[in-house]
Amino acid sequence: MLILLNACVMPKPGNYTCRKISKIEFKDILQKNEDFKSYIGYPQTAQIIEEITGIKPAICRETTKWSGDQEFLVIKLKYRIKNYKDKAYNIHGKSVGDYEFYMVNYKEIK
């Protein structure tokens, strides 16, 4: 199952490969993977994903969980928000141009 994230994270030991992809690749990958788990934490990010793909992902603030090898489709802001309190005001990430897209592959160390 594909996991959809709004950050490039490495929350557990293993080997990660991260490849930058285009907006079109992001769209194609998500549309071809109906069986995905969303860990998108912000409504404005979900709205951008819907604008790009026609799919509105669920908002989920849980810790990302998986076992074994895994693929992650990632959308993340191109920049770091300087004042973390600004996140609450939804003033960042309102346009597709604010985001970058990645495909991340995780391999468990055995």
Q: Mean pLDDT in runs of 10 for the chain (110 residues)?
A: 85 92 98 94 92 96 91 88 56 76 93
| The pLDDT value given to residue 77 | 87
Burial class (CB in 10 A: 0-12, 13-18, 19+), 74: buried
Question: Which amino acid makes up residue 107?
Answer: K
| The pLDDT value given to residue 6 | 85
| The pLDDT value given to residue 80 | 66
| The pLDDT value given to residue 34 | 84
Domain 2-107 architecture: 3-Layer(aba) Sandwich (3.40)
- Return the domain boundaries, the chain: 2-107
| The pLDDT value given to residue 84 | 56
| The pLDDT value given to residue 98 | 87
| The pLDDT value given to residue 24 | 98
